[in-house]
Amino acid sequence: MEDQDVVSVLVENRIAWVNFARPAKRNAMSPTLNRRMMEVLDELEFNDDVGVLVLGGEGTAWSAGMDLKEYFRETESLGLRGVRKSQAESYGWFRRLRWFQKPTIAMVNGWCFGGGFGPLFACDLAICADEAQFGLSEINWGILPGGGVTKVVVDLLPMRDAMWLTLTGDLIDGKAASAMRLVNESVPLEQLKARTTQVAEMLLSKNPVALKFAKDAVRRVGTMTYDEAEDYLVRMQEAANFHDKSEGRKEGIRQFIDEKSYKPGLGAYDL
Ligand code: ACO
């Protein structure tokens, strides 16, 4: 039985470095890992020492997807109750991550298969190594990409690319994933941590309330009509004004118009 070490956490300079930590199993997501990941998100979400969460992987994999033995075969042997429980645990932390209070970055160092596309999509931004390899291997062992994965690729990719990955199970490397817009950027593996740190620090310089409302808005408005989105965004800005006790937007205008200490077109105001 594995203990809690299936996920590692290091908080440093307001960045929470959360790693899938089953390198010997290529960071496959077992029920134990899924339960631990939910606890970790709980611990970090409203921790004032954390401004950004980075999700990485130890060893050669980011995540080899769901654990075919522990998540599929062993839970299926427990019947429908076991299957539904395991699904709720994995979908649960993916959902929690999608709507996480702080901005999140997937730092994809290596293999990313199947179910791994769930947390990949759940992260707001994604930076990968050129050496990373992405694939929907479900078709190779006889299932469809479930657990939201088909929805993820249809939301992120043009239909031809989504269909190609789904039907062929072909691997694409980091550069191809970036060209396809599955991730924001691909950089050589030795630069991955430095580049991710740079992006995380850039996010840390922004108003945290604005970040949370803005990231939710990007995920929400896609399924709305224009009028619905317009109305939603007005209401959300008003809600953000309520939550932002620092009245950041007024301070941002003051530093630009009165103090002339920065230019909003070129960077963020001093928090
Ligand atoms: N589930 C369970 N165990 C896994 C998984 C997985 N998804 N991926 C790797 N492992 C285990 C292997 O069984 C092996 O265990 P063992 O040492 O006890 O024999 C160990 O991790 C190392 O795996 P290798 O295959 O030896 O590692 P290698 O580096 O040669 O290959 C690769 C890596 C390509 C990731 C390969 O392990 C693989 O194809 N894994 C399955 C990927 C996959 O199809 N995932 C499911 C996607 S579909 C879904 O998530 C719903």
The pLDDT tens digits of the residues spanning 183-228 come to: 999 999 999 999 999 999 999 999 999 999 999 999 999 999 999 9
Are the CB atoms for 224 and 232 separated by under 8 Å? yes
Residue for token pair 């939910």: 38
Question: Quick one: which atom of ligand 1 is closest to the CA of 115?
Answer: 50
How far away, in angstroms, is 59 Cα from ligand 1 center? 13
Q: How would you label 60-87 residue by residue, b for 16+ Cβ within 10 Å and e otherwise?
A: ebbbbbbbbebbeeebeeeeeeeeeebb
Quote the DSSP letter at residue 70.
I
pLDDT category, 3, cuts 50, 70, 90?
low
- What are 245-258's pLDDT values in tens digits? 999 999 999 999 99
Indicate yes or no: pTM above 0.95: yes
How far away, in angstroms, is 78 Cα from ligand 1 center? 22
Question: Quick one: which atom of ligand 1 is closest to the CA of 113?
Answer: 47
User: Average of pLDDT values for 53-81?
Assistant: 97
pLDDT value at position 1? 45
* DSSP three-state, residue 173: strand
* DSSP three-state, residue 171: strand
How far away, in angstroms, is 161 Cα from ligand 1 center? 24
Are the CB atoms for 128 and 183 separated by under 8 Å? yes
The tokens describing 240, both together, are: 């953000």
The tokens describing 131, both together, are: 């050496």
Is the alpha carbon torsion for 152, 155, 158, 159 positive or negative?
positive
Question: Quick one: which atom of ligand 1 is closest to the CA of 141?
Answer: 44
19: part of which helix (H) or strand (E)? strand 15-20
Average pLDDT, the chain: 97
Q: In what order do the strands lie in the sheet containing 133-135?
A: 61-63, 111-113, 133-135, 171-173
- What are 80-129's pLDDT values in tens digits? 999 999 999 999 999 999 999 999 999 999 999 999 999 999 999 999 99
Atom 22 (ligand 1) nearest CA: 25
Atom 20 (ligand 1) nearest CA: 25
- What are 15-57's pLDDT values in tens digits? 999 999 999 999 999 999 999 999 999 999 999 999 999 999 9
How far away, in angstroms, is 140 Cα from ligand 1 center? 13
Are the CB atoms for 111 and 26 separated by under 8 Å? yes
Quote the DSSP letter at residue 185.
E
| Distant-in-sequence, close-in-space partners of 202: CB < 8 Å, separation ≥ 6 | none
Are the CB atoms for 7 and 33 separated by under 8 Å? yes
Are the CB atoms for 243 and 207 separated by under 8 Å? no
pLDDT category, 159, cuts 50, 70, 90?
very high
Q: How many CA atoms lie within 13 A of 88 on its CB side?
A: 6
Maximum CA extent, the chain: 68
- Name all residues whose Cβ lies below 6 A of ligand 1: 25-26, 28, 60-61, 64-69, 111, 113-115, 137-138
* DSSP three-state, residue 63: strand
The H helix count followed by the E strand count for the chain is 11, 10
